[in-house]
Chains A and B, each alone.
Chain A
Amino acid sequence: MKRLLASLRSFRFTEGGVSRQRIALLVLAFAAVHLVIAGRLVLIGMKSDPQVARRVTNPDMLTSTRPDILDREGKQLATDIQSAMLYAEPKKGVGYVDDAVDQLRTVFPDLDERELREKLSSKKGFVRLRREITAEQQHEVRKLGIPHVGFLQESKRVYPAANEASHVLGGVNVDSAGIAGIEKWIDSGGLADLHLAGFATGRSLSPVQLALDLDVQHAMRDELLKAQGEYQAKSMSGMVLDVRTGEILSMVSLPDYDPNKPGNPADLSRLNRLTTGVYEMGSTFKALTVAMALDSGKATLASRFDATAPLHYGRFTITDFHAQRRVLTVPEVFTYSSNIGAAKIALAVGVDGHKAFLKKMGQLDRLRTELPESAMPLVPKSWGEINTATISFGHGLAVAPLQAVMATAALVNGGLLIPPTFLKRSQAEAEKIAKRVIKPETSDKMRYLLRLNVEKGTAKRAEVEGYYVGGKTGTSEKVVHGRYSHEKLLTVFTGVFPCDAPQYLVLVMIDEPKNRGHSTAGLNAAPTTGQIIARIGPLLGVEPRHDLPPADQLLTVSQRVAN
C-alpha cells in the first residue's frame, strides 16, 4: 500500500507509447458508444410507426376512453362514441378574428358571435369552440382555411338506456372520469388494467359485463312508475336478486336521472335508496326473527306464543295491527304479522342470541358491493330487551334495503348468505364465497311460511298464477322529528318465486304512499310485486306451472310430524 501511494506521489508522465495506446483504447470506447447509439436509432427506425396515436398536447384535450358496460345478455348499457371537437389556438393567431368569426358562423350559425369573438381574440393556447361536429361540418371548416383551427377526436360517454339503469351505472364527468356507481368502480382499481389503459384506444378494452338484465330492469322500472302514480308515493324502489348466486338482476330507485346529462350530484334523484339509504324494514324482518327461532331450536312451527294482550315496556306499548287477541302458533304469528308474537319469539331466543344472529346475517355491518355508494346501518348503541322486542318486527334497526335482501335470500336459498354483486357470477363461484347461516331444514320451513303468507296471510295480493309466489309484507311508520308518524309510512314487500325452489327475490319499497285506502304493504307493495313478477317471470325463463301443491305440502310428512 505504501509503495502504491509512493508511486502515486512520484507520478510522472510516461513518454512514448503508453498514452498513444491508451488513446487508442479511448477511440475504441467512443466508437462502441457511438455504435450503440446508432444501433438504438436503427432499431427504433425499424419498429417506428408514424401512426403512433397522437399524444394530445394539452391537458384540456384529454378525454380518456372507457370500457363498454354490458348487461348480462350483452346489451349495451354504456359506450364511448368518438366525435370530433373543433378547437382553436388563438395564441398562435387565427388570422383576422372578425373574418374567422364570420366564416365559422357560416358553418355553425348557432355559435354565439360575441362568445366566439371573445374566445378567438383571447391569448389562450387552446380554446374549445364546439363539441360533436359532423364530418360534413369538418369538411366545411377545412375549406375555410382558418389558421390554427383544428379538430380533435374525443370520446363521449353515452348511456343508450338513459334513465333505465342510472343508479347502477352512476356516471362520468366531462373528463370521462367515473364519479358514481359502476363507472366509479371501474376507475377505482377494480380493474387496474383498465385504468392504466386510459390512454389506449377504445376497442382494445374488454367490456365490463354486469349481472343486470336490461329487460327485467325495464319491466321493474315501468311497474314502479305505474305504481308510483297510483299510490302517489314520494319515492319507489325495487330490485331483483338471484337468490342462488347473489347477482343483482335489477335495481331501480325512483326518482332517477339520465346519466347522459350532467347534473347536480347533491340532487335527491341521484340517491340510490337501496344501497345508500337506511330504513327500518318493518315486518319483513319477522322472517329473520322466525328463522332465528326455528334454527336455534328455541321454537318449532308448532310452538305457541300468547298474543292476547299488548306488551308494555316503560312508555312503549307493542300492539298488533291485525290483532287476534289469542294464543298464536308460529305460522299464525307470521301470517297475521303479529308484533307481539314476533317480540315474544325473539325474546325466547334472548338478546345476545338475537344480536349474534343479526350480526351473522350481516345486518349490523356496512355492506360493500361494487357500487362505491354504501351506508352504515343504524344500530342501537345500547341493546336491551326492548330493542330485541322491536327489532324482531323491524323497528329500531335501520339497514340498507340491499342488506335485508341479502339476508332474506339466505333464508330461502337453503341457508347460504351470499354477498350480492352487480357483476355476473356463476353458481359455482357463488358457492365458493357463500357462508352457511341457517340449516337447510330451516330454509324449507321459511319457504313454507312465506308461501303460506301469500295463500292465507297478509300477502294474498302478491299471488301470480303459476309462479308460486311467497313473501312477507312490512309497513313501518317513518320517524319524523324524532317520533313515529302515523301519516308517513314506508311499505315493503319481499317476494320470492317459485317458492318450492326459489330462484328470484323481488323487493318493492314504497316511500310515503299517500293513497289513504291503500296505505299498508299488503295493499300496495304486495300487488306491485305481483305485477312485477308476472312481467319478469317469463323474461327470466321461469315457466308457469299449474299443478302446484298448497303450501302445507312443501314440508315433508316427517317434518310436519316432527313439528
Chain B
Amino acid sequence: MTEVEERLILELGENFPIEPRPFAVIGERLGITEDEVIARVKDFMDKGIVRRLSVALRHQNVGFTANAMIVWKVPPERLDEVGNKLASFPEVTHCYERETTRDWPYNLYVVVHRPYREECLAIAARLSEAVGVADYRVLFSTAELKRSNPQYFIERGEDDAV
C-alpha cells in the first residue's frame, strides 16, 4: 500500500471527522482533494478493504463478556461436514478451524452471542446433537481485560523493546 493509502486507512478509522464534509477534512490532512479521498474510499470498498462506513457501539456485544466459545474435538475427516453444518446455524456468529496442541486438542471453534449461560449451554447441546460430536466444552468469558480498536500501521520506534 502507498503511504497515502496507509494514512487514509488511519484517518478513516481512528479520528473520522464528524463534520458536514468529512472527506474534505481528511483530504486536507493528507494533502489531497475531497474528490480524490471519496474516489479512494470507494475503491477501498470495492476491494473489500473497507467493509462499511459505520459505527461500533458501546453495548454491541462483539465484546467477550456476553459470549460463549464452544470448542469441539472433531475427527479431521469430519471437519468439513461439521464446520459447514455448525456455520449454518443462525445462533453461530463465528466458526473457525484452529490449530491444536498436545494439551488443547479442540480444533473447531464456534462463538455464540447469548447473554445467559443456560441459553449457551442449551445451544451447545443442540449443536452437539445436530452434528453428532459429543466431545466439546463451553468456555464462558468472565472478565474482560482489554478491548481496543485495531491498531494499523503502528510506527515502530527504534527503542521498542521487542
* Bound together: no
- Please give the residue numbers on chain A whose beta carbons come within 8 Å of chain B beta carbons, in ascending order: none
- Please give the residue numbers on chain B whose beta carbons come within 8 Å of chain A beta carbons, in ascending order: none
